[in-house]
Amino acid sequence: MEYGLIGEKLGHSYSKLIHEKLADYSRSFGYTYDLHPLTREEFPHFMEQKDFKAINVTIPYKKDVIPYLDELDENAAAIGAVNTIVNKDGRLMGHNTDFSGFAYMMKQSSVNAFGKKVLVLGTGGASAAIAAVLKKQRAAQLLFVSRTGKGEAVTYEECVSLHSDAALIVNTTPVGMYPAVDASPLDLAPFTACEAVLDVIYNPGETRLTAQAKALGMKGITGLSMLVAQAKYAFEFFLEVSLPDDLIPRITEALGASL
């Protein structure tokens, strides 16, 4: 494999389709991108072999890959998770394009965290990159929400009773993702001060959470643009090219119409 995606379960991944569209738009002829599911047992051997030019990394290996890398860029080091690896003559360089992808998603949606109380639902790998963006935008208060409330997180019950004045809510959990599309991680009705809800889920194109947000007069944005944006930034690392950001909405629209 030259370029591709590793993860445990990749059956519903859109990454191959997006990278093929990026290759078409950029005229990168001969570029192939493969989905390469790995079990926990297969993962160490794959990383030790280094038999790839560049790869993307998804659940559950975004943190597990770090011990195999020779270097991390600034974003990946600060976040503590990697979703893009480039092999340069046997030296593995780790990047995190989820950071740039979420920043793009916020900018395109005209949402900013500056001076606001923000709730981040979930404490997994995606939440770390998203929290880094929110901190860079100087959110006034950033709270993580989890079912257990372990560590610095609050529980969902505490979230509703103590933090219903949040202005921005970001879902990084898989709750509401296909095929369990009728699920939602949170009832938004108590959050009367909320301006916008961003859900990193991209399948379905409208989650139950974002649909409720819109019904309550809030912005509701799902994650397809983030997915395309992070892929575009990864593609640039892969091939050492620079592509215009206006490719992102074009591919997002084309992808959305084909799904």
Contact 144, 92 (CB under 8 A): no
Total Cβ atoms within 10 A of residue 193: 13
Contact 73, 43 (CB under 8 A): no
Q: Give burial (CB, 10 Å; 0-12/13-18/19+) of 119.
A: buried
Estimate the crossing angle of helix 125-136 against helix 97-108, to 10 degrees: 60
Q: Which of 50, 53, 62, 88 is catalytic?
A: 62
* Distance between CA atoms of residues 48 and 68, nearest Å: 7
> Has 62 been annotated as catalytic?
yes
133 to 9, 176, 180, 204, 245: CA distances (angstroms): 27, 23, 28, 24, 18
Nearest to 93 by CA among 105, 104, 107, 83: 83
Residues 6+ apart with CB under 8 A from 107: none
Residues marked as catalytic = 62
